[in-house]
Chains A and B, each alone.
Chain A
């Protein structure tokens, strides 16, 4: 059993769409001291299920245990530990209007996004890209003095 510690993992959990299900999942992580790096939840269209995407870190043994424990929860339908996946994360960033708007626009376009709102004092851009590239975008954005950056968390789908 390989036990490379702290490898990044993404799992999808398909659950019954009921009020307490998210707390069941997060408290399972908390009780065992497993860390959640990011978490997204949304209903699956035309069903009574929801799709939860969790990015976390841990050894393969730990992940096997997490997967089994998640599966044991009564409202959990399916747990997918992604290996071959397409992963995307969305980010919203707000910049002062006095910054170089052309640069900001080009930057966000380079990361699969663009300007989504312009006001009298602020400009807001959106990008959606792989988590690694999102990190690069955030680094690059620093020179334009962002007022606020909101990350959306990872969503993933098996290839």
Chain B
């Protein structure tokens, strides 16, 4: 491609990787790159109003599309603001390339203006990071960054580019392929191990599919559904896997874990064979480890060997990509006897009848669970739902009828409040024809509310559905249960006028206190080409149930009042 500046190389690499939208915020050290962004037409740049939001927006774009998301920030505070975004993506294995400016090479280590050790700070929250040291290595580093981000177990990669390198001019040859001798992800599962796992499935009486976010990342949901269908083995999903089985699938019991439903948690407690697909036995899923799947052998399929045996002893470890492993496994299950598991399915169905996922609805006040179910009824399959972190997130995960993966986008591992709104911007940019709803709370939304301005400027009409209980609800719930109702710093009675706030920034606001207003607001919001805040007043003291108290065994659940009796 000939001679060009380092800044131009950055842009050319982004274009070569097929990235259509870059989220970012300029500043001193990255200015040369922004000068080239101004001149090029290969991708669109969206100016968020905070670097954290840029990374979350790129993250939302990546989660919705499965492609690498790109964010760009300057050195120093630009980078440190991006750290929460990197950590969020890291915990959920989301492929991102974040490009940060750095002070010129000659100033590195001198405490220069807006200098911070970006590779040092981001080391524990990136899959890999680079400080570019020469112009010659820049094209290779950029190529490797995209490759590392999307291959193996995906993750965010930081490329820190000193300012002088963006000015220097040199030959740009973007590599066609990558060869990193020290990095060779394992995709194919071990044949012998897969055979053993198949035998274990055939001889089990109470097998259970334990489906994690890895299935979404591997785009393997059709194979997982085929596996369930073929074997008639019931399934539970983690928070990150919502949508994999599809809400209408009769083999799906629900979500398991701290806020899992009764049948899912009981299934995990009573199964004799856990078939873990891309899940990592997070503490919010397992509860007390010594009681987790106590009677089960464990098949663990994961592309990351370090996940296997990290928390529980595994009987059938399979390192590999879920897609490839299932492709090898499925033909071997042609002769599986599906009747074998019928008694087991009946037990679980009985559990589900005893304690279905439920809540007590009200005519006086909007219940948050009702609001979630209602948007499910009104826009269901057509919507992509993002969320922040807290009670609203759990209610959305429990009650929304997700029917495909990548329809549910939330910060599961890090639990980042403020994720949902900027992520929704990335989602909406990737899928402009879809309705994008950020289910949020009156606490979380304020953590990135400046994005109202971004959304208004770029006409990105995402719906922020604020389930407003005037509390930092999840912490309040714990205080009710475990801290004798001492509501320390969780009362959010003092609030902005959310409607006016949205309007002040060029968006639309809706105040919603009744079900009729709710329907009217959502129907109007869908038609608008403007961002909105839907301020939904809900009852203050609703709890997320069922709940397994932290560190307790999964089968010890606090259940909602609507249950029909004890099992």
- Convert B306-322 into 0s and 1s, putting 1 for each residue whose CB lies closer than 8 angstroms to a CB of A: 10011001000000000
Nearest CB in chain A to that of B119: its residue: A20
* A75 CA / B148 CA spacing, docked (Å): 12
**Known: A20-B131, A27-B123. Is A77-B182 also a contact (CB below 8 A)?**
yes
A65 B310 Cβ-Cβ under 8 A: yes
Contacting residues of chain B (165-193) with chain A, CB-CB under 8 angstroms: 180-183
A151: CB under 8 A from chain B? no
- Convert A57-73 into 0s and 1s, putting 1 for each residue whose CB lies closer than 8 angstroms to a CB of B: 00001001100110110
A128: CB under 8 A from chain B? no
B180 A74 Cβ-Cβ under 8 A: yes
B120: CB under 8 A from chain A? yes
Tell me the smallest distance from the CB of A87 to a CB of chain B, in Å.
Answer: 25
A127: CB under 8 A from chain B? no
* A76 CA / B148 CA spacing, docked (Å): 14
Q: Which among B128, B133, B306 is the interface contact of A74 at CB below 8 angstroms?
A: B128
* A75 CA / B120 CA spacing, docked (Å): 16
Nearest CB in chain B to that of A76: its residue: B182
B227: CB under 8 A from chain A? no
**Known: A20-B119, A20-B131, A65-B306. Is A27-B182 also a contact (CB below 8 A)?**
no
A124: CB under 8 A from chain B? no
Nearest CB in chain A to that of B309: its residue: A64
Q: Which among A1, A16, A61, A65 is the interface contact of B182 at CB below 8 angstroms?
A: A16
A68 B182 Cβ-Cβ under 8 A: no
B105: CB under 8 A from chain A? no
B304: CB under 8 A from chain A? yes
A72 B304 Cβ-Cβ under 8 A: yes
B333: CB under 8 A from chain A? no
Contacting residues of chain B (204-254) with chain A, CB-CB under 8 angstroms: none
* A69 CA / B307 CA spacing, docked (Å): 9
Tell me the smallest distance from the CB of A79 to a CB of chain B, in Å.
Answer: 11
B123 A68 Cβ-Cβ under 8 A: no
- In the bound complex, residues from chain B placing their C-beta under 8 Å from that of A27 are 123-124
Nearest CB in chain B to that of A66: its residue: B306
Q: Which among B123, B180, B181, B306 is the interface contact of A24 at CB below 8 angstroms?
A: B123
From B119, B124, B128, B306, residue with most partner A Cβ within 10 Å: B306
A15: CB under 8 A from chain B? yes
Tell me the smallest distance from the CB of A50 to a CB of chain B, in Å.
Answer: 12
B329: CB under 8 A from chain A? no
A69 B306 Cβ-Cβ under 8 A: yes
- In the bound complex, residues from chain A placing their C-beta under 8 Å from that of B182 are 15-16, 74-77
* A111 CA / B99 CA spacing, docked (Å): 54
Contacting residues of chain A (67-101) with chain B, CB-CB under 8 angstroms: 68-69, 71-72, 74-77
B148 A74 Cβ-Cβ under 8 A: yes
A142: CB under 8 A from chain B? no
A31: CB under 8 A from chain B? yes
A117: CB under 8 A from chain B? no
- In the bound complex, residues from chain A placing their C-beta under 8 Å from that of B309 are 61, 64-65
Tell me the smallest distance from the CB of B181 to a CB of chain A, in Å.
Answer: 7
A23 B148 Cβ-Cβ under 8 A: no
Nearest CB in chain A to that of B183: its residue: A74
Tell me the smallest distance from the CB of B108 to a CB of chain A, in Å.
Answer: 12
- In the bound complex, residues from chain A placing their C-beta under 8 Å from that of B306 are 65, 68-69, 71-72
Nearest CB in chain B to that of A14: its residue: B182
B305: CB under 8 A from chain A? yes
* A76 CA / B309 CA spacing, docked (Å): 21
A31 B148 Cβ-Cβ under 8 A: no
Tell me the smallest distance from the CB of B535 to a CB of chain A, in Å.
Answer: 41
A68 B119 Cβ-Cβ under 8 A: no
* A56 CA / B148 CA spacing, docked (Å): 30
A68 B305 Cβ-Cβ under 8 A: yes
* A24 CA / B182 CA spacing, docked (Å): 14
Tell me the smallest distance from the CB of B298 to a CB of chain A, in Å.
Answer: 13
- In the bound complex, residues from chain A placing their C-beta under 8 Å from that of B305 are 68, 71-72
- Convert B255-284 into 0s and 1s, putting 1 for each residue whose CB lies closer than 8 angstroms to a CB of A: 000000000000000000000000000000
- In the bound complex, residues from chain B placing their C-beta under 8 Å from that of A31 are 124
Nearest CB in chain A to that of B152: its residue: A72
- In the bound complex, residues from chain A placing their C-beta under 8 Å from that of B133 are 19
* A119 CA / B238 CA spacing, docked (Å): 70
* A61 CA / B182 CA spacing, docked (Å): 24
Tell me the smallest distance from the CB of B429 to a CB of chain A, in Å.
Answer: 30
- In the bound complex, residues from chain B placing their C-beta under 8 Å from that of A1 are 313
* A142 CA / B228 CA spacing, docked (Å): 70
B123 A23 Cβ-Cβ under 8 A: yes
Tell me the smallest distance from the CB of B307 to a CB of chain A, in Å.
Answer: 9
* A24 CA / B148 CA spacing, docked (Å): 16
Contacting residues of chain A (9-43) with chain B, CB-CB under 8 angstroms: 15-16, 19-20, 23-24, 27, 31
Contacting residues of chain B (283-340) with chain A, CB-CB under 8 angstroms: 304-306, 309-310, 313
- In the bound complex, residues from chain B placing their C-beta under 8 Å from that of A16 are 181-182
Tell me the smallest distance from the CB of B179 to a CB of chain A, in Å.
Answer: 12
- In the bound complex, residues from chain B placing their C-beta under 8 Å from that of A71 are 305-306
- Convert A102-141 into 0s and 1s, putting 1 for each residue whose CB lies closer than 8 angstroms to a CB of B: 0000000000000000000000000000000000000000
Tell me the smallest distance from the CB of B127 to a CB of chain A, in Å.
Answer: 8
Contacting residues of chain B (493-528) with chain A, CB-CB under 8 angstroms: none
* A118 CA / B131 CA spacing, docked (Å): 46
- In the bound complex, residues from chain A placing their C-beta under 8 Å from that of B313 are 1
Give chain A's interface residues, CB within 8 Å of chain B: 1, 15-16, 19-20, 23-24, 27, 31, 61, 64-65, 68-69, 71-72, 74-77
Beyond the given pairs A16-B182, A31-B124, A72-B305, 7 more chain A to chain B contacts, judged by CB atoms under 8 angstroms and listed by A's residue number, are A20-B119, A24-B123, A61-B309, A64-B309, A74-B128, A74-B148, A75-B182
A-B contact pairs, 11 of them (CB 8 A): A15-B182, A16-B181, A23-B120, A24-B123, A27-B123, A68-B305, A72-B304, A74-B127, A74-B148, A74-B180, A77-B182
